[in-house]
Homo-oligomer: A and B are copies of this chain.
């Protein structure tokens, strides 16, 4: 009754063996037909194709990739699917359409302890060889010698070794802080991003240099770690906003953090932008759905993605590529920032 073994075709997956049996030929012959290799009699070929059709046979990506090295699929490795990586995905998808490659986005969904190093793990698991090349999003480590071409987006430590694509994080941060300064803010806090990412360090550096350039000393109390995450940022922001000498503006390292700040402000009873100005970074689509809509530094996310595919495809073709692409950022002023009202409360 429950003989779901390979005995009967029709039970479970159809394999090349099933096709061969039904067509009355050997497995290699079927293989040849499928892969358009010549050396098969026209009649046999037709018959086999018919059977393939009837049985609805498809070659197993798994089995094939174990044997031959080329699979025609590009891997995109992400820690999880959140707005940042999904926007990248859109750009990648658009740019890859029509190239003959398929896309395989893989999220290890690591949490806690084994989170760092996820990219090496995933890469290792897939590269032997489910995928011909990979785009790794926000790798936390150097992912040194990989057996396949790899392009990193927003990597660990800037352009070192492998091919990378990123935005001008430092300049973007400067834009954000200068905007706040122009509005009259002087107590500007910064919620830092993930310390293991170059982007976070560069944004912090931009924050510092803009402040310094304006002759404002950096108050280390106003620097906190939001880890690029909404919840963590909300918690940290709550502390920051209940300080005696609270900041009148916050530059968050990314939009998720900024959304966390917005939440914290509401909880603490601060109005945005009247009492508090908030600037984010990334310009993910949901940045404009917040109340109020978020002023943020816009990265061309989809373009970053499409540049990455193009680089990867070039590498896959064996042609030389530029190692590094850096795209500009632009400040997008929406409604979460306004003029500083009073010097500082409770003083």
A residues within 8 Å of B by Cβ? 12-15, 56-63, 65-66, 80-83, 86-87, 89-90, 92-93, 96-98, 101-109, 111, 120-121, 124-130, 147, 284-286, 288-289, 293
Q: Are B121 and A93 in contact (CB-based, < 8 A)? A: no
Q: In the assembly, how many copies of this chain are there?
A: 2
Residues on the B chain within 8 Å of A98, using CB: 109, 111
Residues on the B chain within 8 Å of A89, using CB: 81, 86, 89
Residues on the B chain within 8 Å of A125, using CB: 58-61
Given known A93-B81, A120-B56, A147-B12, contact A62–B101 (CB-CB < 8 A)? no
Residues on the B chain within 8 Å of A87, using CB: 86
Q: Are A93 and B106 in contact (CB-based, < 8 A)? A: no
Q: Are A96 and B83 in contact (CB-based, < 8 A)? A: no
Q: Are A61 and B130 in contact (CB-based, < 8 A)? A: yes
Which one, B80, B128, B285, contacts A289 given CB within 8 A?
B285
Q: Are A86 and B80 in contact (CB-based, < 8 A)? A: no
Q: How far is the CA of A183 from the CA of B147 in the complex (A)?
A: 62
Q: Are B63 and A63 in contact (CB-based, < 8 A)? A: no
Residues on the B chain within 8 Å of A61, using CB: 125-126, 130
Q: Are B129 and A62 in contact (CB-based, < 8 A)? A: yes
Q: Are B104 and A108 in contact (CB-based, < 8 A)? A: no
Q: How far is the CA of A56 from the CA of B142 in the complex (A)?
A: 14
From A14, A58, A62, A86, name the one whose CB has the most chain B CB atoms within 10 angstroms: A62
Given known A62-B129, A125-B60, contact A107–B93 (CB-CB < 8 A)? yes
Q: How far is the CA of A81 from the CA of B76 in the complex (A)?
A: 12
Q: Are B93 and A102 in contact (CB-based, < 8 A)? A: no
Residues on the B chain within 8 Å of A14, using CB: 124
A58-B121, A103-B106 given; 7 more Cβ-contact pairs under 8 Å: A58-B124, A62-B126, A80-B93, A82-B93, A93-B107, A104-B106, A130-B130
Which 9 pairs across A and B sit closest by C-beta, in order of nearness? Answer: A285-B285, A58-B124, A81-B93, A86-B86, A105-B105, A60-B128, A103-B107, A81-B89, A61-B125
Q: How far is the CA of A120 from the CA of B56 in the complex (A)?
A: 9
Q: Are B83 and A111 in contact (CB-based, < 8 A)? A: no
Q: How far is the CA of A103 from the CA of B82 in the complex (A)?
A: 13
Minimum distance in angstroms from A187 CB to a CB of chain B: 31
Q: Are A106 and B102 in contact (CB-based, < 8 A)? A: yes
Smallest CB-CB separation from A71: which chain B residue? Answer: B62
Minimum distance in angstroms from A63 CB to a CB of chain B: 6
Minimum distance in angstroms from A307 CB to a CB of chain B: 16
